[in-house]
Chain A
């Protein structure tokens, strides 16, 4: 099975090629360059270097980080995946950003909480654990993925009472609150495993693909978790719901 993974939900641009259970190539950049200028050249590079440029029609699916994350980042990755799926006539697999991030810390003791800076005093987060006995790479979600304040997350983790591994670009903005409020043992993942990676997206994409969760390029969507600012302001004025509740269950 061959899966191309694309991750551009945060500041990291990452692409990876999974071939029959091994990561054939991976390329990640954590620079200030826009994903629009880096992502496709990176895909080009890994395809060329792995000598798969002329074998792209053998891809089984294109897996992409479908959110939450930076709205623009998600759309660059999503539109890139859709274009590839449309042109190559290959299905897409929408992979939620947070469980894919959690996979970076597979095997960690206790639970893993990926943190993405969601601005407005919140982080996009979820709480995940791994079943080391079954050796499955897939994380199990212990909470809904959501946009919440860090102290709210700390309260949940205190209640859970298990050690925590944090990772993601939300660590920096959350560190102070965590240090003050978290009563369970915790660590921040070191640099080599604390950012998004497309190999996790490809791995989780492969699992979802085998579960039959592939979609056409036209159907595949993004999960912003939040309405646009304009919709939010309007909903506040009219008292109507925006249709977004900032939460999504990862149980599949």
Chain B
């Protein structure tokens, strides 16, 4: 390790994964540990904040301990401690923030609060060492749907966002309605990889008046639920695979079309995907087709970096660290933190 290397211990606990990682120079993951709570929340059909918070405080020490051990870097040799401070669920966020602050205080290390979405975008820096701003990025997850211009490291312009449900949220709700369970995204993706005709049921794609690049998924969700009701009233059997594939087609094409519209208007030559839904195989395939048609380079991280993780937080933190960003011991959790907003 050279003297100029910057090694950051990063912690993420904004939803239902407790994660820690050690990242060197923003690009290289020396370790990454994720403890997921999916099984715990499955029976409630979604994440229960209080149950998640209780699990986070149980897991935070062993998870961070393991990430430090795996990295081979002594805790005292870390250059900074980074933590997701928002957006997310406030109870879970507070566990990570409080724990990280204490470490920074005890060892006299710089503390860096990181925006969760900045983390998702930065996952692409770890996956693609040559990728540098500027580029466009579509962030899609269970809680977020943003079309972002990454102007420089840590500098963003949001040009489109969802008006209602996040894309991943729509997946969860539809999956629940057709009995696939939580989390909906991976389950629908898996089902549709093998069966289901995406063009069998013509569900509407989101139309949002006012802004060109905003998304909406609640209308589509209602259309799916209405379809299920109508079929049940008529006493007709529902082809779950066809329904899932058609729903997925509507979501994905809405994401692809809006994004391509922006790509053409702005003249982007590079597009990155980020967030949990970025590991969806149908989205990747359709976006790839659309990008190839237009000669746009497409980037996305491997699935493990798409889901909530701490490697991405350590990467985003590095660029903040280099800019001299430091946070005080009064750093709080900011559940509604907007991308680009400084704390």
**B contacts with A, residue count (CB < 8 A):** 36
Give complex CA distance A76, B101 in Å. 11
Binds B, one of A107-115, A155-163, A193-201, A227-235: A227-235
Q: C-beta contact mask, A61-79 vs B, less than 8 Å → 1, else 0?
A: 0000000000110011011
Of A83, A88, A216, the residue contacting B99 (CB under 8 A) is A83
Q: Mark A27-65, 1 if CB is under 8 A from B, else 0.
A: 000000010111111011000000000001000000000
- Could you tell me if A82 and B328 are in contact, using CB atoms closer than 8 angstroms? no
Residue B206 interfacial (CB < 8 Å): no
CB of B65 within 8 A of chain A? yes
With A40-B101, A87-B106, A228-B51 in contact, do A222 and B75 touch (Cβ < 8 Å)? no
Q: B101 near A83 (CB under 8 angstroms)?
A: yes
| Cα-based distance from A88 to B109 in the complex (angstroms) | 13
Indicate whether A228 sits within 8 Å of B103 (C-beta atoms), given known contacts A37-B332, A75-B98: no
Inter-chain contact A230/B50, CB cutoff 8 Å: yes
Chain A residues lying within 8 Å of B50, measured Cβ to Cβ, are 71, 228-230
Give every chain B residue within 8 A of A72 (Cβ-Cβ): 53, 90-91, 94
Check B44 against A82 for contact (C-beta < 8 Å).
no
- Contact A83 B98, beta carbon cutoff 8 Å: yes
Contact B102 A34 (CB under 8 A): no
Q: A76-B94, A83-B102 are in contact. Are A40 and B330 (CB under 8 A)?
A: yes
Residue of A nearest to B111 (CB): A40
Chain A proximity mask over B55-67: 1 for CB below 8 Å, otherwise 0: 0011011101100
With a cutoff of 8 Å between Cβ atoms, the chain A residues found around residue B75 in the complex are 87
Whether a CB of chain A sits under 8 angstroms from the CB of B251 is no
| Bound complex: CA A83 to CA B101 (Å) | 8
B105–A40 touching, CB < 8 Å:
yes
A43 to B53, CA, bound (A): 24
- For residue B224, CB closer than 8 A to chain A, the reply is no
Q: Which of A84, A229, A234 meets B105, CB within 8 Å?
A: A84
Q: Which residues on B sit within 8 Å (CB–CB) of A224?
A: 54
Most chain-A Cβ atoms within 10 A of its Cβ — which of B61, B99, B102? Answer: B102
Q: Which of B44, B106, B332 has the most CB of A within 10 A?
A: B106
Number of A-B contacts (CB under 8 A): 104
A37 to B54, CA, bound (A): 20
Within 8 A of A (CB), among B31-62: 43-44, 48, 50-51, 53-54, 57-58, 60-62
The CA of A76 and the CA of B57, in the complex, are separated in Å by 9
**Min CB–CB distance A71 → chain B (angstroms):** 6
Q: Let me know if A218 is at the binding interface, CB within 8 A.
A: yes
Is B65 in contact with A218, judged by CB distance below 8 angstroms?
yes
* B residues 131-150 touching A (CB-CB < 8 Å): none
Across the interface, B98 reaches (CB within 8 A) one of A80, A218, A222, A229, namely A80
B199 part of interface (Cβ distance < 8 Å): no
Check B53–A86 contact: CB distance below 8 A: no
A118 adjacent to chain B (CB < 8 Å):
no
Minimum distance in angstroms from A243 CB to a CB of chain B = 12
Known: A228-B54, A231-B51. 17 other contacts (CB 8 A): A44-B329, A71-B53, A72-B90, A79-B94, A79-B95, A80-B102, A82-B60, A83-B98, A86-B61, A216-B61, A221-B58, A222-B54, A222-B57, A224-B54, A229-B50, A230-B44, A234-B44
Can you show 25 pairs from A to B with CB atoms below 8 A apart?
A36-B333, A37-B332, A40-B98, A41-B329, A41-B330, A56-B106, A72-B53, A75-B53, A75-B57, A75-B95, A76-B94, A79-B94, A79-B99, A80-B99, A80-B102, A82-B60, A82-B99, A82-B102, A83-B101, A86-B61, A86-B65, A86-B103, A87-B102, A216-B61, A222-B57
Residues of B within 8 A of A (CB): 43-44, 48, 50-51, 53-54, 57-58, 60-62, 64-65, 75, 90-91, 94-103, 105-107, 328-333
* Residues of chain A at the chain B interface (Cβ within 8 Å): 34, 36-41, 43-44, 56, 71-72, 75-76, 78-84, 86-88, 216-218, 221-222, 224, 228-231, 234
